Every structure is written in C-alpha cells, then in structure tokens.
Amino acid sequence: MPRSIVATLALVLFALTAAPTLAEQTRHGPEGVIMKRSAHSVEQTLDRLEGILEERDVTVFNRIDHAAGAESIGESLRPSQVLIFGAPQMGTPLMQSNPIIGIDLPQRVLAFEDAEGLVWLVYNIPAYTADRHDVEDRDEEIEQIANALNNLTSAAVSAE
C-alpha cells in the first residue's frame, strides 16, 4: 500500500479517536445557525452567558423557558431556554440600513438538551441574518457582531 494512503488512513483513525476540541464541537446547524456543544446544563450555560453579558454591560431583556411552558400545559419537553439580549450600539446601524432586520433583533441564543443528553447553544449567523434582510452596507458591524457572539458563546459553553 502506498505510503500516502497509509498516512491518510492513520490520520483518519486518529481523528476518529481523538477527543473533540471546542472548534470540532462547533458546527453549522440548519441553514443560518451555529451550534456549539456546551460542557454545562441548559440552565448553567445560559446563567454563564447572562453573567458574561452583564459584565460587559449588554442588556439582557428576557429568558424564556420552553420546557416550563410545555409543563404548564401538561406536556413534557427536554430542557430548552432562550436568552434575549442586545446592545443598541450594535443593532442600531443594522436597523438604519433596513428597519425590517428588527424582527431578528435583539439577539437570541437557544440552549437545549438533545435526545442524547448533550447540551447545545445555538444562534443565528449574523451575516446570514443581514443577507436575509438585504443589509449590504454594514460588513464591519456584522463582523463585529459575529466576533462578539463567537467569543461570548464560546466562553459560556467552555468547561473552564
């Protein structure tokens, strides 16, 4: 067997057995969203994110517990919560370009437990949202929002 094939097979085998890194635990979910696997429960993940946001003077508007809503009608749902937050200095320029983007602002993240018991933190990709609303003149702001969301959510899901 040629050496390059053996080396490739060895790398594939190693990749399959190595513990996933945070980057490997981050993936694109359904079109337009990013999913990050959390090392914490749904509640702890959003508690961590909420604390980080408050430290950075980002307004937390609401927290919605979907499982509690299901329970209120006699149904069950795995843990699932949404945190709604924002900063006018980030969202206002986007709304100046197209006020309709306000339907997707302020920002939201969803933390949920899947059928295997893994917890995921999910949010909209800012560039996808901007494209959806034809916001074409705010690339710098979109990149800042994307970087902020990435950093905030990575800190919330990390094991540290």
Is the confidence at residue 28, as pLDDT, over 90? no
| 36 DSSP β-pair partners | 26, 121
Alpha-carbon span 88 to 59, nearest angstrom: 9
Q: How confident is the model at residue 27 (pLDDT cuts 50, 70, 90)?
A: low
Model confidence over 123-135: pLDDT tens digits?
999 999 999 999 9
**Would you state the pLDDT for residue 26?**
62
Place of tokens 């094939």: 5
Q: Of 95, 98, 117, nearest to 39 (Cα)?
A: 117
**The predicted structure's pLDDT at residue 16:** 35
Per CATH, the homologous superfamily of domain 21-157 is TT1751-like domain (3.30.310.70)
Looking at the predicted structure, is the pLDDT value of residue 74 above 60? yes
pLDDT of 68 strictly over 90: yes
pLDDT of residue 24: 44
Cα separations in angstroms, 24 against 5, 88, 117: 24, 32, 18
| Beta strands per DSSP E along 67-139 | 80-86, 107-113, 119-124
- Name the residue among 45, 34, 43 with its Cα closest to residue 66: 43
The Cα-based distances of 128 to 26, 89, 104, 132, 149 in angstroms read 17, 20, 11, 6, 14
- Is 80 exceeded by the pLDDT of residue 102? yes
Nearest to 122 by CA among 109, 137, 133: 109
